[in-house]
Amino acid sequence: MKRPCVLTIAGSDSGAGAGIQADARTVQALGGYATTAITAITAQNTRGVVAWRAVSPDLIAAQIAAVLEDFPIAAIKTGLIPGAAGVRAIAHALGQHRRVPLVIDPVLGSTSGTRFLPATGVRALKKELLPRATLVTPNWLEAAVLSGWPVNDFMEAEMAGSILAVEFGCAVLVKGGHAPGGSCRDCLVTGNGPARWFESERVPTQNTHGTGCVLSAAIACGLARGETIERAVTKAHAFLQKSLRAGRDVRWGSGAGPAFAS
C-alpha cells in the first residue's frame, strides 16, 4: 500500500525540535510521506529562538503549488505562518483543494517568547484559513487569542473550543499541555455531541519542544489514511505520549529538547 502523502506548511527549526523537521519526522515514523513548504527560517536551539526570517509569500505559494500539482496529497497541516501576507498566500494556494483535510496548528509564537504572527496575521488567519480547517489545535493561550474568551482552567478551555467550533464550522482540539498539574488534558470539540477529553499522566522530561507539532502532524497523518477526527486524535495522542516516554532520558542540549517522534 502506498504511503499517505501529507503536506506540512511550517517554519524550519535549525535545532530540529519543532516545525518542518518535527512534522516530517513524525509523518515518516507513522508510515507516511511528508512533503513540505517552508514559511520561515529560524535559528534556534534547545534554549530558544536566536533569529528568524520569513519566506516571501510568493515563494511559500510556489512551494505549495509545486507539491499539490505532482503529489497525491491526502492531508495538509500548517504551523508557523509569518504574517497576514503569508496567511493569504497559503489560503489562495489551497483554494482549489478544499476537499483535502486541513489541520491548522495556530502557532502565534515560540514558548521562549518570540512572536511570529502579529495581530494583523491573526485577523487574516480567522478570515482566510480557519473557515477552511478540518481541525484547529490551539494551546490555551492561542485558544484565548482566537476566541476572545479567557482560558485559565479546563472549563474555560472547553468554552473557548466551543466558541471556535461554532464560529468556524470546524473541529477544535484545545491542548492542555501547558496547564499546571500532573496530568495533561486535551479537549476535543467537534460540534457533534459533548466534548471529548484526552487525559494522560504528565511524562517527567525536559524534552517537550515541538510537542504541538508532533501531535498535529500525527493527526494529519491519520486523516490522510481516512480516519475520523476522533480516531486520528486518539492515535496521535497515544503516539505523542509514546514519543515523550521514549526520549525522556536523552540529553538533547541544555534547554528544552525535542519530543522524540519514535
User: Does residue 137 carry a catalytic annotation?
Assistant: no
User: Does residue 193 carry a catalytic annotation?
Assistant: no
Annotated catalytic residue, options 210, 222, 247, 257: 210
CA-CA distance, 16 to 209, in Å (whole number)?
10
DSSP E strands, 57-193: 73-78, 102-104, 135-136, 171-174, 183-189
Annotated catalytic residue, options 42, 83, 211, 257: 211
Annotated catalytic residue, options 86, 175, 221, 247: 175
- From the CA atom positions of the chain, what is the Rg in Å? 17
Residue 134 CA to its chain's centroid (Å): 12
User: Does residue 211 carry a catalytic annotation?
Assistant: yes
For the record, the C-alpha cell of 106 comes out as: 495556530
In eight-state DSSP terms, residue 95 is: T
Q: Which residues touch 75 (CB under 8 Å, ≥6 apart)?
A: 4, 6, 7, 100, 101, 102, 103, 220, 221, 223, 224
Residue 154's CB is within 10 A of a number of other CB atoms, namely 18
Annotated catalytic residue, options 15, 17, 32, 212: 212
Cβ atoms of 16 and 258 within 8 Å: the answer is yes
Instruction: Name the residues annotated as catalytic.
Output: 175, 208, 210-213
